Amino acid sequence: MTSKLSPSAARRTFLALSCIAPAFAGAAHAQQTDTPERSLGTVTVTDTAIEEGSYKVDKPSSPKFTAPLVNTPRSVTVVPAQVIKDTASASLVEALRTVPGLTFGAGEGGNPLGDRPFIRGFDSQASTYLDGVRDIGAQSREIFAVEQIEVVKGSDSAMGGRGSAGGSINLVSKMPTSERFVAASGAIGTDDYKRATLDVNQPINDLVGVRVAAMWHDQDIAGRDALFSKRWGVAPSVKIGLDGPTSLTIGYYHLESDELPDSGIPYLYTGANAPAGVTETAPARRYTTISGVEVNRPRDAFYGLKNRDFRKTNVNNLTARFQHEFDGGVTIRNTSRYGHSTQGYVWTQPDDQQGNVFGLRNAAGLITAPGDQVWRRANTRYSFAEGLINQTDLFGEKTFLGLRHNFAASLEFAWENAGNGTYVSNAATGAAISTGSSVSPRCSAQNIARFNCTSVSNPNSNDPWVSYAADDSNVLAGVERSQRKTWTLTKIESYGASLFDTITITDSLLLNLGGRYDHYKVQVSPGLAATSTAAPRSWVERNDDLWNYQAGLVFKPTPQTSLYVSTSSSATPPGSFLAQGSEGNALGTSGTTVNGVVLTPLTAQQLTDQLKIEKTKSYEVGAKANLFNESLSLSLAAFQTDTKNARTTGPNNTVEFIGERRIRGIEFGFNGNITPEWSVFGGYTYMDAEIRDGGFTATTAVDSATGQTRTLLAPSVNTGKPFPNTPKHSFTAFTNYNVTDRFTVGGGAIYMSKVYGGFQEVGARTIRNGVVIIPGQVVGRMVPSYWRFDANASFKVNDAIQIQANVQNVANKLYYDKAFTAHYANQAAGRTAILTVNVKY
């Protein structure tokens, strides 16, 4: 760790100038005007993407990819616009379900609601990029203004900076082109599905073009009671210099959403009530409670409250990009973005491990909770995130010392700020919303009467819940935001530089190299008590220097095939999530306890100074091929990713960095055209993920010699267990076939093996000879494996009008697509039928 470093005035001046100079531009992927084309039967391909109608993309948009995908020594999946359209995907989550090896995790109070993708077992919530620039803020992303989605797998900090332990996601925006068109769609479907989009691209003249993308969306959720999702967005952009070599593009993106969020389905057992022999627990459906009551949970059961729960988001991005192509094949571009997003919600989380679902006995064997009840805990959050980022890229092709170099150099500066507070019943005192958390047993007669609990088998989202000042109070109190002084604030300042190069040693041998340096400064200020009259806030601060790399060797038996080996790294410094995701290595703000046990007294700053960077390395060996006149792409890779320095609790009950994780696997991918009429997209991933060292856990146990209860440290139950949200097997396959020039049919299949959310011990521990004896029974919270099938068909009425029909989850399969560490899992939508009219002229 380096000493504290304040930015110099010179650097601030540089960034300020670069943000107001011709740097203001916001194009999507950069395409050189002299890009060669080649014919693929009925499809025309450039070096960046295949035209509309294909499932194959040759090269991602970022210039940091210094070679086409077939010559890139790592796994990259690009979801093109046609796949998004054919699957009727209306969000980032829906679009990414087509990618094998990628899952989604659920949210919780400390982990804000929003997109939470897991790539190769690692949380990538804070590793999402928009047009190659980091997109901060927890949110649920739309795709109405997205051209394609690029997923890089494996440690990826060399590309984008901090984080990206398992990979990263880049969204490519729709920006002005020289083609004149108007594209509109209107869709209706089951469960009041309604959606309209508009995409207008209009060249004003040979120099200037404008484009406007817009969307309105409103739907209920199939198979779920009460839930709804409403949103609208607009993304205008203008480009000066349509045909280059110099261009200036400015784009703006706005999205607002309003929804009733899903409270999920609680797991059946907790660590306190799982019967002997039970090693796994899934969301409850049909079961007998501890008191003998038969429960049959309805499929549409919703445990939230209509008059309390809500989620609202607001996202604004202003992006600007200046680009100039020099003679000789070198391009410079500068991108600046200011982004600001807010999110507020009150959201019911069912049961909270209280044991009310199955029921609970006390130590004397008496039933204290009969079962068939869910406690309605209220998770609340109000947060904002904003950032100003400036990135300059210089890329192209040059010959040096007799070798051809396809290179890309990048320089980046960023300032990011975030704050998060809660909703309370009294902002002046900071009193939390009363949900009966102080009442024992949790689902007492009082809490049931106040609708803080509801039946597993017969919940009513219309219950007339009201907010009281406290659990023991009859005074009504409104729900309001906490005072700003109570919020946790985070500030980040960083700068980085990177260089990438694909060196053509011979036509058959390529060397891919890349490296990046980042200086990362983070400051965190814990919130004050609502009644505090203390002096200004206290802050803890940390500075880190991050060095990351990627390297790969590519052998090409033929021009359209390759064999490769590669390695890459990532670094996740403390505080890298900006309080906008689930962070295991957050900066200490109190720093005196871990797992409820007092540590050696340290100030928050002293604890922060002892933190370490979590480091991850990936290794990959694979093969790629373009077949059928380059219209179909195949890839096969074996990979391993190791994490060191994961933050855990040490054997002396201090924060230590001894955690280790490893994931090994095999991935096969395919995308493109088998014939001019038949398109395919998908793949298979096998992942063997293991937490090799989970550290220690504070535990209260009974000393067998004295009979007294003591608190000691014991090895974590997570050691030797698989990663959360990491299926061993996942498979996706989507296909479309042009039966005639007008009629197309297609479908898709998704398979996911069981996914664990977390693990918990069952039963009491004992201490023998001063050593904690761990019970043999550990319960894993999980969601079962599932198959899901989709179908689609389209008919072209004429050159301008197309009618498209989609049925998602054709078999109306009941399955769960997100597993949280504890508490609950998310039930996926049931069968959804959508009819869309697409117009383009």
Tokens describing residue 121: 């077992």
- Contact assessment for residue 289 and residue 359, using Cβ atoms and an 8 Å cutoff: yes
For 292, residues 6+ apart whose C-beta sits below 8 A from its C-beta are: none
pLDDT number for residue 482:
95
pLDDT number for residue 94:
96
What do you get for the CA distance between the two ends of the chain, in Å? Answer: 58
For 590, residues 6+ apart whose C-beta sits below 8 A from its C-beta are: 526, 604
Burial class (CB in 10 A: 0-12, 13-18, 19+), 72: buried
Looking at the domain assignment, is residue 448 inside a domain?
Answer: yes
- Phi, psi (5° rounding) for residue 449? -65, -30
For 825, residues 6+ apart whose C-beta sits below 8 A from its C-beta are: 106, 264, 265, 267, 282, 283, 757, 781, 783, 816, 818, 819
CB atoms within 10 A of CB 679: 27
Rounded Cα distance, 624 and 775, in Å: 48
Looking at the domain assignment, is residue 17 inside a domain?
Answer: no
pLDDT number for residue 370:
93
Rounded Cα distance, 833 and 831, in Å: 7
Domain that holds residue 664: 69-167+189-840
Looking at the domain assignment, is residue 184 inside a domain?
Answer: no
- Contact assessment for residue 135 and residue 414, using Cβ atoms and an 8 Å cutoff: no
The H or E element containing residue 647 is: strand 632-649
* pTM, 2 dp: 0.89
**Distance between alpha carbon 406 and the CA centroid of its chain, in Å?**
31
- Contact assessment for residue 121 and residue 169, using Cβ atoms and an 8 Å cutoff: no
Mean per-residue pLDDT pooled into runs of 10, the chain (841 residues): 39 35 33 34 34 81 94 96 96 95 76 85 88 87 96 93 90 95 98 98 96 98 95 98 94 97 92 87 94 95 96 96 94 96 93 88 87 94 94 95 96 94 93 92 92 96 95 93 93 96 97 97 91 86 95 97 97 82 67 46 72 91 96 97 76 64 95 95 96 80 78 80 92 97 97 93 75 78 96 97 98 94 92 97 93
Among candidate residues 179, 110, 117, the one with its CA nearest the CA of residue 152: 117
As for how many domains the chain has, the answer is: 1
Looking at residue 811, its amino acid is: A
3-state SS string over 91-112? CHHHHHCCCCCEEECCCCCCCC
Rounded Cα distance, 747 and 745, in Å: 7
Among candidate residues 465, 460, 457, 464, the one with its CA nearest the CA of residue 225: 460
The CATH number for 222's domain is 2.40.170.20
Rounded Cα distance, 483 and 775, in Å: 45
DSSP character at residue 720: T
Count the residues in the chain.
841
For 461, residues 6+ apart whose C-beta sits below 8 A from its C-beta are: 225, 226, 302, 303, 304, 305, 306
- Contact assessment for residue 585 and residue 574, using Cβ atoms and an 8 Å cutoff: yes
Strand boundaries in 650-770, DSSP class E? 655-675, 678-693, 696-703, 709-715, 729-738, 743-752, 755-761, 766-768
The H or E element containing residue 708 is: none
For 428, residues 6+ apart whose C-beta sits below 8 A from its C-beta are: 483, 530, 531
Rounded Cα distance, 826 and 250, in Å: 39
pLDDT number for residue 695:
81
